[in-house]
Amino acid sequence: MRGLPFEYAVRNLGRNPARLAMSAGGSMLVVLLVVAAAGFISGMNQSLRASGSSRNVIFMGAGSEESVERSEIKMKTATIAAAGVPGIERVAGVEAVSPEVHSALLATTPGGDAANVIVRGFTPAAFLVHREVSLDEGRLPDAGSDEIMLGRLAARNLGVSGLGETVLIDDRPFQVVGFLGADGGVVEGELWMPLSDVLVVTLRDTLSCVVIRREDEKMTSSNIFVATRLDLELAVIREDRYFAELSAFFEPVRLMVIATAFLVAAGGVVGGLNTTYAAFASRVREIGTLRTLGYSRSAIVRSLLEESVLMASIGGLAATIIGRLLFDGMTIQFSMGAFGLDVGPAEIALGLVAGLVLGIAGALIPAWRCLRLPIPEALRSAA
């Protein structure tokens, strides 16, 4: 026999607005969580993937290979490395050697926004080494003038929207004179300050690391330098490998986010089953009547599936729109600075698939339980 028309499922959606709102709302929450989790993972992966170059080498304190923020090396290391490591790239006659200090400090804006930010003390040579970093707006800060630059994500996290605004660091006001971009890399979550100013603010006389850019990707000369200069107590690692190891370190965080999204989605499926079953159970007589008119079980199941998928789709579409507007680019603070959630086509597609699965799973089991009743018993149902 012919199947039930699609309009039948559409009309049934409006029979009970409260049920429609509850079902669509539940689907929306589940899909929203899936989109947020996918955006979180994608944003973190993109931030780490866009950071680091295979031609950059980091010299840091021995034993501090897992975190450059904990590293301390002598101030003279930059000069010694520039003279003792062959194969360093030169740009307009200047060696690409960047002495840096990395420190996590509390930054506060006059408006009251506060966040722990990775502050990087730098010299102009940093731009010779970190080629992905660009000055998108403004100028470089002058040493001794209490001026800073902010990465785009750090500025968003602190609520800084324009040049000339003030950021308090260690209760000391600094004026924002520039904004940095880094193709989505970790630098966008950092605050850059002249090296001499960072040394004053942090009350230290040591560097965190020295980053050099080589003419090739070979590590032999760098390893030999570290092995022969035991007095400097150095470790050496290629920059892209450093960020790859950081990515592996944060793998448990990604797994926790995935597990949380899965558990909540499973709870949403169970809730959807309960809601759909209650809705279908109240229509047992209607289903029995349809079977009396000659409609097959498969035709009725298809109609119920259409109805359930439509309800889930309404919530799923609303969730993807909200997720795109609310989560895309949202700043997440973590130990390396910050990264932005990335809600793109793949994350939206994943959310829509989750909503589709929720709609199918929410209809099949309740429909089977309602359709297994004999027709006479279904027609005598008081529901």
Residue 227 has a pLDDT of: 93
Residue 67's pLDDT band (cuts 50, 70, 90): confident
Q: What is the pLDDT of residues 267-301, one digit of tens each?
A: 766 766 666 666 666 677 777 777 777 777 777 77
Q: What was the pLDDT predicted at 143?
A: 92
Give pLDDT, residue 334.
61
- The highest-confidence range among 103-117, 206-220, 324-338, by mean pLDDT, is 206-220
How far, in Å, CA of 310 to CA of 348, rounded? 17
Residue 22 tokens, joined: 């509850």
pLDDT band at 49 (very low <50, low <70, confident <90, very high): low
Residue 363: closest CA among 34, 12, 29, 33: 12
pLDDT over threshold 60, residue 115: yes
Q: Residue 214 has which token pair?
A: 């080589």
- Residue 72: pLDDT above 90? yes
What is the pLDDT averaged over residues 21-48?
80
Contact by Cβ (8 Å): 280, 366: yes
The confidence score (pLDDT) of residue 248 equals 76
pLDDT in tens, 200-232: 999 999 999 999 999 988 889 999 999 999 999
Tokens of 126: 């940093």
Q: What pTM was computed for the model?
A: 0.73
Residue 23 vs residue 381, higher pLDDT: 23
Q: Residue 57 carries which side chain, given as an amino acid letter?
A: V
